[in-house]
């Protein structure tokens, strides 16, 4: 019994090869090791660079690489000829001039009786961008933690409260246009220091009487920072804030879009708070609130230490202790809370 074996013709084999070559999701580029020219490229490689196949064939890698990447490619190409691996990341230039990051993995391939480099090319721009973004976030968090540590050391090294310095440090950690440090005595908040246009527009102590039970409760018992995304809105917190800041205190609402109140407290005792404002609505984030709260913890401890030091000094002198404003410092009968972002 005779068996006939079917063999593909050369043309059929070429068609099958072409089909598999073009079906690859990654770019495939065949570069002549002698001339350095592109002998073949699949559809993915051509589309990646914005060329037709006819226009892409015959180019040199230098024609679609940035200058620094051209040099890197040439060095790797020479090393590959000498037997080294070809594994490199380059910046490619599309036909329209835009760029993208690509990863090359190369292997030797005889093509049309010529020694060649078969490069598997993958666009890794999204991965590069994600890595860059991650690195930027890590660097930003590192800077923030370093700044908080410096602030903690600075506050722990002094027994005297310096409200202006505290606000300058705060604005170096949490970006805001205006900031204030307020101390609480009985049911009155007093501005110990102001920064931004608040400082320029108002130098008085700005006593704020907490007469409304709703806003007083919100400010003095909230276990976290209170954020108001739009102080001009009908949000109950925004309405309460506008009701609270009347008279001379209305200056604190001038040109303000977003507001954040960060209570100062130690073991449940409210000492006052940090007020931060920005002209843009929806400005403050939960992360910023957490940073401000971390600093508020340190400030509250410093306020207590300053108060205790003041009392001890006066008792040693046989005098009645004065409060922070009377002693020229900043303390007040105050406390602290926890962290949350704007609403």
Higher pLDDT, 186 or 291: 291
Collect all residues with Cβ–Cβ distance below 8 Å to 49 and sequence separation of at least 6. 56, 64, 92, 94, 95
Q: Are 106 and 169 contained in the same domain? A: no
Burial class (CB within 10 angstroms; exposed 0-12, middle 13-18, buried 19+) of 253: middle
> Which residues make beta-bridge pairs with 40?
30
Q: Are 85 and 211 contained in the same domain? A: no
Per-residue pLDDT for 338 more than 70?
no
Residue 198 neighbours by CB distance under 10 Å: 23
pLDDT score at 250:
84
Domain assignment present for residue 195? The answer is yes
Strands (E), 196-324: 208-209, 226-228, 258-266, 269-278
Domain assignment present for residue 114? The answer is yes
> Which residues make beta-bridge pairs with 43?
none
Mean pLDDT across the chain: 81
Domain assignment present for residue 62? The answer is yes
Per-residue pLDDT for 80 more than 70?
yes
Q: Sorting pLDDT into bands at 50, 70 and 90, what band is 336? A: very low
Q: Sorting pLDDT into bands at 50, 70 and 90, what band is 79? A: very high
Q: Are 102 and 191 contained in the same domain? A: no
Domain assignment present for residue 249? The answer is yes
Higher pLDDT, 120 or 339: 120
Q: Are 28 and 71 contained in the same domain? A: yes
Q: What gap in Å lies between CA 82 and CA 164, rounded to an integer?
A: 67
Burial class (CB within 10 angstroms; exposed 0-12, middle 13-18, buried 19+) of 40: buried
Domain assignment present for residue 328? The answer is no
Domain count, the chain: 2
Q: Are 77 and 175 contained in the same domain? A: no
% of residues, the chain, pLDDT over 70: 78
Residue 81, φ and ψ in degrees, nearest 5: -60, -30
Q: What gap in Å lies between CA 319 and CA 74, rounded to an integer?
A: 83
pLDDT score at 202:
57
CATH of the domain at 79: 3.30.450.20
Domain assignment present for residue 326? The answer is no
Q: What gap in Å lies between CA 129 and CA 135, rounded to an integer?
A: 10
Residue 295, φ and ψ in degrees, nearest 5: -70, -35
Quote helix, strand, coil % in the chain, to nearest 5: 45, 25, 30
Q: Sorting pLDDT into bands at 50, 70 and 90, what band is 333? A: very low
> What pTM was computed for the model?
0.56
Helices (H) and strands (E) in the chain, counts: 10, 11
Range of the domain at 234: 158-316
pLDDT score at 271:
86
Q: Are 178 and 85 contained in the same domain? A: no
Reduced to 3 states (helix: H, G, I; strand: E, B; else coil), residue 192 is strand
pLDDT score at 237:
83
Q: Are 210 and 61 contained in the same domain? A: no
Q: How far is CA 256 from CA 80, 228, 242, 312, 340, in A?
A: 63, 11, 11, 41, 20
CATH of the domain at 197: 3.30.450.40
Reduced to 3 states (helix: H, G, I; strand: E, B; else coil), residue 75 is helix
Q: What gap in Å lies between CA 326 and CA 253, rounded to an integer?
A: 27
Of 107-111, 209-213, 335-339, give the range with the top mean pLDDT. 107-111
Instruction: Give the dihedral of Cα atoms 243, 245, 248, 250; nearest 10 deg.
Output: -90
C-alpha of 37 from chain center: 44
Q: What is the mean pLDDT of residues 124-133?
A: 90
Burial class (CB within 10 angstroms; exposed 0-12, middle 13-18, buried 19+) of 325: middle
Do 241 and 259 form a contact (C-beta atoms < 8 A)? yes
pLDDT score at 196:
86
Q: Are 189 and 96 contained in the same domain? A: no
Domain assignment present for residue 101? The answer is yes
Q: What is the mean pLDDT of residues 100-127?
A: 94
Q: What gap in Å lies between CA 311 and CA 313, rounded to an integer?
A: 5
Q: What is the mean pLDDT of residues 259-284?
A: 89
Reduced to 3 states (helix: H, G, I; strand: E, B; else coil), residue 202 is coil
Reduced to 3 states (helix: H, G, I; strand: E, B; else coil), residue 254 is coil
């Amino acid at each position: 019994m005779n068996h006939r074996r079917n063999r593909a013709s050369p043309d059929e084999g070429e068609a099958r090869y072409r089909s598999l070559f073009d079906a690859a999701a990654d770019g495939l580029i065949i570069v002549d090791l002698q001339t350095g020219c592109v002998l073949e490229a699949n559809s993915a490689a051509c589309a990646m660079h914005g060329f037709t196949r006819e226009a892409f064939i015959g180019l040199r890698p230098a024609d679609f690489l940035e200058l620094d990447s051209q040099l890197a490619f040439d060095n790797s190409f020479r090393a590959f000829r000498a037997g080294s691996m070809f594994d490199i990341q380059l910046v490619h230039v599309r036909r329209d001039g835009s760029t993208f990051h690509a990863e090359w993995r190369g292997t030797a391939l005889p093509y049309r009786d010529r020694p060649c480099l078969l490069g598997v090319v993958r666009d890794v721009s999204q991965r590069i961008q994600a890595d860059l973004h991650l690195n930027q976030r890590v660097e930003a968090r590192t800077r923030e933690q370093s700044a908080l540590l410096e602030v903690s050391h600075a506050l722990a090294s002094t027994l005297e409260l310096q409200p202006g310095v505290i606000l300058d440090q705060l604005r170096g950690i949490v970006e805001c246009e205006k900031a204030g440090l307020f101390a609480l005595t009985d049911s009155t908040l007093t501005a110990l220091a102001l920064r931004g246009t608040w400082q320029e527009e108002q130098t008085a102590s700005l006593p704020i009487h907490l007469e409304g039970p709703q806003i007083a409760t919100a400010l003095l018992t909230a276990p976290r920072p209170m954020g108001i995304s739009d102080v001009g809105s009908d949000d109950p917190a925004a309405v309460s804030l506008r009701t609270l800041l009347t008279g001379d205190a209305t200056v604190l609402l001038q040109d303000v879009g977003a507001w954040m109140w960060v209570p100062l407290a130690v073991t449940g005792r409210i000492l006052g708070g940090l007020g931060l404002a920005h002209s843009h609505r929806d400005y403050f984030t939960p992360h910023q609130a957490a940073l401000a709260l971390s600093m508020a913890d340190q400030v509250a401890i410093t306020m207590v230490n300053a108060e205790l030091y003041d009392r001890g000094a006066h008792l040693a002198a046989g005098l009645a202790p004065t409060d922070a404003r009377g002693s020229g410092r900043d303390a007040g009968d105050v406390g602290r809370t926890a962290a949350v972002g704007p609403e």
